[in-house]
Amino acid sequence: MKTLLTTLFVSFFSLSALSTHIMGGEIIAENNGGNNYNVLLTIYRDTVGIPTDVNQDFTVYDANGSSIMNFSISMDPNANHPIFGFQNGSLLPYFPYGVEIYFFSQTIALPGPGEYTIAWDKCCRNGAIQNLIDPLSNDMRLYTTVTVDASQTNSTPYFMVKPVMYLPVNTPWQYNPLPYDINGDSLSWSLGTPHQSSNTAQGSPIAGYTAPPSDPTNPISIDPITGTISWTASMLGNWVYTVICEEYRNGVKIGEIRRDMQFIVLPSGNLPRFMNFNKIPTIDGYYYWDIEPGQYSELRLMANDQDQNDIVTFEAFGEPFLLSNPLTYSQQATGVGNVIETTLSWTPSTSEIRENPYLVVLRLMDGSFMMDEALFIRVKKSSITMSTQEQ
C-alpha cells in the first residue's frame, strides 16, 4: 500500500496547478457510412483541478491545412464510453489518486474524399510538469488525421487500453496502450513530442520538451512489434509524453492518432507481477500461445505482489475479446497470500484462423500501480496447445 510520503507527494504535485485539470487525452474518428464520421474526444482529468467544461470546440482542416469547418460537442453526462465502458465523469479504478474520464462524441459530415485533420486544444497544461520549460504557458493540442476513401471504408485506429498514470521510481516497468485498427490497416507507433496550438492543423511541437528521465539501462522506449512502453524512471515527478500511432494502407499513410498523457513517478512501491510468464514459449523474444481451432484451450498464469497488503487484480485487452466467438479471461484467489490464478480460455473456430497472430495485453493491478505484458496468440492447425501453471 502507498505510504504517507507517497500521499503527500501526489497531493503536492496536484495542488501546485489548480488552474489546470486535464492530464491528457486522444481523438479518434469512426466512419458511420459515406462521409459521416463519429468524432470521439476522450480526456482524463485530475480531480483536484477545476471542473471540466461541458462544451468542447473543434476545427477541421483539409489536406492543404485550410480550416474548413468548426463544430462544438456538448457532454452527455449519462453516456458510457464506447471503448472503455465508463460513464462520463467516472473515476478510473485502481489508481492511488483520483483521475476522471470524460468524453465528447458527435457525428459530422466531411466534405468528400480526401485527408482531413480534426483538432482540439485547451489551455493550460499542468504547472507541475517537469519536462517542459514553462508548462503553464503551453496549451494542449490534440488532433487526429483521417482519409475519406470513396472506394473503401476507413476509420482511424484507436487505443484499446486505458492509460496508466502512476509508477514507482527506479523500477523496471511496462505499459501498452494497444493501438488497433478495425479496417485491418498497417499500424506504426512511436513516442513523440506533445503539441500546442498554433495556426496550423497539427499545432506545433512544444519547444524545449525533453523525454522523461530514465535509468540509462532502460530508457523510455516503445517496442516496434508489440507497442509496449518500457521505462525505468530515474526521478520523481510529473512527466508528459505522447504516443503516436500512424495508419498505412498499401504503403501510403492514411491516418494518425495521438495520446498525450502524464506519468506521475512516485517515491517507491512494488509492482504486481506474473510469477510464471517466462514459461510461455518465445519467438525472437516475444511470447506466443499456439492453439488449435475447434479445441478448448486455456492458459493459466499465477500473479502476486510482494506487498502482502495489496490486492492483485487482472484485466486483459485485445481484438480476440471483440469477436463473436470471443476469448475470455478470469481470475481466482489461490488462498496463498495475495497470489491469484489468471486464466485465458478460448475455443476458436476455423474462421479465427489467420496468418497474423492476435496481440493481447495482460494487465495486473494492485491499487497503486499497474504492469502490462504482451502476448501473441496464434490460431492455426497442428499447433501445440499449452496450459502453464505455477506448481
DSSP 171-238: S-EEE---EE-TT--EEEEEEE--EE--SSTT-EEPTT--PPPB-TTS-SEE-TTT--EEE-B-S-EE
Given this model, what pLDDT does residue 382 score? Answer: 67
* Confidence label for 97 from pLDDT (cuts 50, 70 and 90): confident
Beta bridge partners of 300: 343
Residue 23 has pLDDT above 80, yes or no: yes
Q: pLDDT digits over 100-141, tens only?
A: 999 999 999 999 999 999 999 998 888 889 999 999 999 999
Query: How high is the pLDDT of residue 20?
Result: 58
pLDDT of residue 64: 96
Res. 15 pLDDT band, cuts 50 70 90: very low
Give residue for cell 453526462: 77
Specify the pLDDT at position 50.
78
Confidence tier at 268 by pLDDT (50, 70, 90): confident
DSSP one-letter code for 87: B
Collapse the DSSP code of 34 into the 3-class scheme (helix H, G, I; strand E, B; otherwise coil) and give the result: coil
pLDDT in tens, 35-91: 999 999 999 998 877 788 999 999 999 999 999 999 999 999 999 999 999 999 999
pLDDT tens per residue, range 235-265: 999 999 999 999 999 999 999 999 999 999 9
Instruction: Inform me whether the pLDDT recorded for 302 exceeds 90.
Output: yes
Given this model, what pLDDT does residue 126 score?
86
Predicted pLDDT at 383: 43
Tell me what the pLDDT averaged over the chain comes to: 92
Name the DSSP letter for residue 10.
Answer: H
Residue 208 pLDDT greater than 50, yes or no = yes
DSSP code of 267? S
Give the pTM. 0.92
